[in-house]
């Protein structure tokens, strides 16, 4: 592997120009407003509801409309809109997407069951016979059924228990079936939905909703990466071993300041090399962008990340981003505590160098040799007069119990600091509980999750 030297100055690089960001409450208000609009569309197209069959059928229509609306929202949340990613934060958007996915799959299941049951009561037949009739005799229903089955399948594979058993790359590609499911369900809704029959404005609204989401998705996820890739000509410059199973990848290119990347943010990186070009995986910047250089630090945690260790200088790279709200903007205090676990040090290393005021870094790893970037952290601490504490699980005498008392003992003024937390899920869960015990307010904690 190629190695390179690390140069750390005493003066942090200039902050990028401010970028417009969506306030985190706006998307929620917009989502709820859209849901109300969909309910009003159903109300406008429904004359009356009488009898068991009527209540079942209309409940099925409502849940179907809401499931269709939910599909559009799910895609929009993951369209990688920069202003939304900065204002809300990518990890929060991912949580909204996961929660919305569960609701949408449940609504789709309720829609199918209620419609079949309601039609069976109306025609006075059993649900099996009615299911066959609906699937094979109604227009676009074979498409709708395939879309429904695909959506449920994606929902099952996205459940936490299933995700643990799947490689990230496998899950990533299975997730693409969502687009096909939504496409098939879209035509079924227009062909069979009572609210769209003979109602031009309702069809126009549905076309506008799905068309707008499709344009945004294609632009930000496909067009922009290609345009930026050609403009910035980003290429691998060097690969440097940092710790067992951890490497830093240095990249150089043109006009990198135009990205407007802030310390703590991440990009989705697509390396145009054999076996890697098909996936864009998220990795945080492990140092501020300097001139024509960017750097990420990666731990081998799967096939994709392990393959990065074999990258050769000159490999072309496409970068999508920057994403995430894990930055030093809008602080509550003039001092900060950084709490890192394992390779979670990567965004915190960039913040350690650039955050103003008094900064303390606590860094946990399994063994001393797993403390990646330690020389750089020591150099930063010496240059800015900051404190850095290292803790390891082995040997046990150098471990840090994640309790409120232990954190307060190390940082007595912890209640008057902004806390930046990044690490594996088990460690971050324990740290959040310890910070609460130490009296740190939840709104003063910035948390970056590894799980998307």
CB-based burial, 299-338: b 16+ in 10 Å, e otherwise: bbeeebbebbeebeeebbbbbbbbbbbbbbeebeeebbbb
**pTM assigned to the model:** 0.76
* pLDDT at residue 63 greater than cutoff 60: yes
On the question of a cis peptide bond just before residue 158, with omega within 30 degrees of 0, the verdict is no
Token match 């740190």: residue?
A: 440
Segment (H or E) for 338: strand 335-341
Residues constituting the chain: 452
pLDDT in tens, 135-167: 999 988 999 999 999 999 988 888 777 777 777
What sign results for the dihedral spanned by CA atoms 305, 307, 313, 317? negative
Residue with tokens 């202003």: 83
Cα dihedral 287/288/293/296 (nearest 10): 30
pLDDT band at residue 449 using 50, 70 and 90 as cut-offs: low
Strands of 335-341's sheet in order across: 387-392, 358-365, 335-341, 418-422, 445-448
Reading the block at residue 84, the tokens are: 């939304």
What is the Cα–Cα distance from 327 to 217, expressed in whole angstroms? 25
- DSSP class of residue 15? P
3-state secondary structure of 367: coil
CA–chain centroid gap for 344, Å, is: 16
β-bridge partners, 362: 339, 389
Q: What is the dihedral of CA 396, 402, 406, 410, to 10 degrees?
A: 90
Rounded to an integer, the average pLDDT of 100-128 is: 94
- Residue 371, pLDDT > 60, answer yes
Burial of 233 (0-12, 13-18, 19+ CB in 10 A): middle
DSSP 8-state secondary structure symbol assigned to residue 256: G
For 338, the token pair is 């950084």
pLDDT per position as a tens digit, 319-333: 988 888 788 888 899
The pLDDT assigned to 234 comes to 95
Average pLDDT of the residues in 50-66: 94
- pLDDT band of 451, cuts 50, 70, 90: low
| pLDDT surpasses 50 at 210 | yes
Other Cβ atoms within 10 Å of 230 Cβ, number: 10
């Amino acid at each position: 592997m190629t190695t390179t030297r690390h140069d750390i100055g005493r003066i942090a690089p200039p902050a990028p120009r401010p970028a417009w960001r969506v306030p985190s409450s706006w998307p929620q208000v917009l989502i709820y407003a859209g849901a109300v609009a969909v309910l009003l569309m159903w109300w406008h197209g429904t004359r009356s509801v009488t009898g068991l069959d009527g209540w079942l059928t209309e409940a099925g229509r409502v849940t179907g409309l809401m499931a269709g609306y939910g599909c559009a929202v799910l895609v929009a949340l993951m369209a990688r809109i920069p202003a939304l990613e900065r204002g809300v934060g990518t990890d929060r958007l991912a949580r909204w997407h996961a929660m919305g996915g569960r609701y949408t799959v449940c609504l789709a299941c309720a829609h199918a069951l209620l419609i079949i049951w309601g039609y069976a009561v109306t025609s006075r037949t059993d649900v099996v016979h009615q299911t066959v009739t609906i699937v094979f005799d109604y227009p676009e229903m074979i498409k709708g059924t395939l879309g429904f089955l695909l959506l449920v399948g994606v929902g099952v594979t996205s459940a936490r228990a299933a995700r643990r058993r799947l490689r990230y790359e496998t899950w990533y590609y299975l997730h693409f079936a969502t687009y096909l499911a939504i496409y098939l369900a879209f035509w079924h809704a227009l062909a069979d939905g009572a609210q769209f029959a003979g109602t031009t404005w309702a069809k126009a609204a549905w076309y506008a909703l799905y068309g707008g989401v499709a344009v945004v998705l294609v632009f930000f996820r496909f067009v922009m990466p290609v345009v930026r890739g050609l403009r910035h000509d980003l290429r691998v410059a060097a690969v440097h071993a940092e710790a067992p199973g951890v490497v830093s990848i240095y990249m150089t290119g043109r006009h990198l300041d135009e990205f407007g990347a802030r310390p703590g943010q991440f990009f989705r990186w697509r390396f145009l090399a054999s076996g890697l070009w098909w996936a864009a995986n998220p990795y945080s910047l492990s140092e501020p962008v300097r001139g024509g250089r960017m750097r990420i630090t990666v731990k081998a945690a799967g096939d994709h990340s392990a393959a990065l260790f074999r990258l050769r200088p000159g490999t072309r790279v496409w970068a999508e981003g920057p994403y995430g709200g894990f930055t030093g903007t809008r602080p509550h205090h003039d001092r900060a505590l950084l709490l890192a676990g394992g390779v979670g040090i990567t965004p915190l290393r960039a913040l350690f160098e650039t955050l103003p005021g008094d900064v303390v870094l606590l860094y946990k790893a399994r063994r001393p040799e797993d403390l990646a970037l330690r020389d750089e952290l020591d150099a930063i601490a010496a240059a800015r007069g900051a404190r850095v504490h290292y803790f390891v699980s082995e040997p046990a005498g150098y471990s840090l119990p994640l309790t409120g008392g232990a954190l307060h003992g190390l940082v007595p003024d912890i209640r008057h600091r902004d806390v930046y937390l990044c690490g594996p899920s088990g460690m971050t869960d324990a740290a959040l509980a310890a910070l609460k015990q130490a009296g740190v307010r939840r709104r003063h904690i910035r948390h970056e999750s590894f799980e998307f």
